[in-house]
């Protein structure tokens, strides 16, 4: 049973560029979550999906951020016009139907550095 | 709004010592869940334990145990006979129950860096 995978693991981009991250959840997991973690802090919730529906978005998710889960499987998180403050680890998690959101399994994260 | 506070920024112990990590939470939800996660140097968050708000029975699982006290809004985590491999950042987290305002999302504390020396 493979875990949550994220791609790329590291991304360095220049300010103003757009970036897109991908998350593949554990097979059969219907819920998928995105979190952001800055250095020395705990992860902060960004958004989550149940199947293909985006059910909640944090106010941290500015207009420059968009997340999709078009077929209820993998998800993408896009950041447009990146800023230095976007530098962080972006974590994806998924949870199985029987556990609701109370059993979230995290991927290895994508570390974004904006120069 | 929910809040999780881990007052201990760093803890350093010698192998085989017991260590307790403190966690205090705030929530307006009547039903909620509490968690502990471990983040080793590799960076991947690993789920350790979960407790719901209507079950204050404390348990032991191997070398891990936890003490949930609703009256003081605390959810402390103890590692018995610590090992070098326990060195990691430990996060306490909180999620609202179904119907609550924070259902579906985890609110994390700032983490406690645990270093276990040989």
Q: How far is Cα B81 from Cα B17, in angstroms, rounded to an integer? A: 5
pLDDT tens figures, B43-72:
889 999 888 888 777 777 899 999 999 999
Residue A2, token pair as written in the block: 């493979």
- When scoring B43, B93, B94, B101 by the number of chain A Cβ atoms within 10 A, the one with the most, hence best to mutate, is B43
Residue A3, token pair as written in the block: 């875990």
DSSP string, B61-116: ETTEEEEEEGGGTEEEEEESS--GGG-EEEEEEEEE-TTSTTBT--EE---EEEEE
Average pLDDT over residues B96-110: 84
Inter-chain CB proximity B108 and A43 less than 8 Å: yes
Tokens 């708000």 label which residue? B53
| A87 pLDDT more than 60 | yes
- Cβ of residue B64 closer than 8 Å to a chain A Cβ: no
The CA distances from residue B101 to A68, B76, B96, in Å, are 23, 24, 7
- Cβ of residue A56 closer than 8 Å to a chain B Cβ: yes
Contacts of B24 (CB under 8 A, 6+ apart): B4, B5, B6, B7, B72, B73, B74, B75
| B104 pLDDT more than 90 | no
First to last CA, chain A: 37
- Cβ of residue B108 closer than 8 Å to a chain A Cβ: yes
Contacts of B72 (CB under 8 A, 6+ apart): B24
- When scoring A43, A46, A91 by the number of chain B Cβ atoms within 10 A, the one with the most, hence best to mutate, is A43
The answer to whether A92 and A68 have CB atoms below 8 angstroms apart is no
The CA distances from residue A86 to A35, A58, A64, A75, B106, in Å, are 12, 15, 10, 19, 20
Q: How far is Cα A52 from Cα B104, in angstroms, rounded to an integer? A: 15
pLDDT tens figures, A37-71:
999 999 999 999 999 999 989 988 889 999 999 98
| A106 pLDDT more than 60 | yes
Could you say which DSSP state residue A99 is in? G
Burial of B71 (0-12, 13-18, 19+ CB in 10 A): exposed
The answer to whether B57 and B67 have CB atoms below 8 angstroms apart is no
| A1 pLDDT more than 70 | no
């Amino acid at each position: 049973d493979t875990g949550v995978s994220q791609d790329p693991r590291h991304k360095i981009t220049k300010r103003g560029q757009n970036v897109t991250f991908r998350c593949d959840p554990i097979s059969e997991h219907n819920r998928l979550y995105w979190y952001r973690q800055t250095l020395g802090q705990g992860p902060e919730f960004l958004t989550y999906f149940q199947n293909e529906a985006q059910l909640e978005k944090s106010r941290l998710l500015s207009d420059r951020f968009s997340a999709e889960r078009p077929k209820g499987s993998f998800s993408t998180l896009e950041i447009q016009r990146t800023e230095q403050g976007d530098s962080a680890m972006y974590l994806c998690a998924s949870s199985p139907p029987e556990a609701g959101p109370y059993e979230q399994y995290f991927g290895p994260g994508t570390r974004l550095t904006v120069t | 709004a929910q809040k999780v506070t881990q007052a201990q920024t760093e803890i350093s112990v010698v192998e085989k010592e017991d260590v307790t990590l403190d966690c205090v939470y705030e929530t307006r939800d009547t039903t909620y869940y509490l968690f502990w996660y471990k983040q080793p140097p590799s960076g991947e968050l690993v789920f350790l334990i979960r407790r719901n708000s209507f079950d204050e029975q404390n348990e032991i699982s191997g070398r891990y145990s936890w003490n949930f006290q609703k009256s003081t809004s605390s959810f402390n985590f103890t590692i018995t006979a610590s090992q070098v491999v326990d060195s990691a950042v430990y996060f306490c987290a909180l999620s609202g129950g179904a119907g609550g305002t924070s259902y579906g999302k985890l609110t994390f504390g700032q983490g406690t860096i645990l270093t276990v020396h040989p």
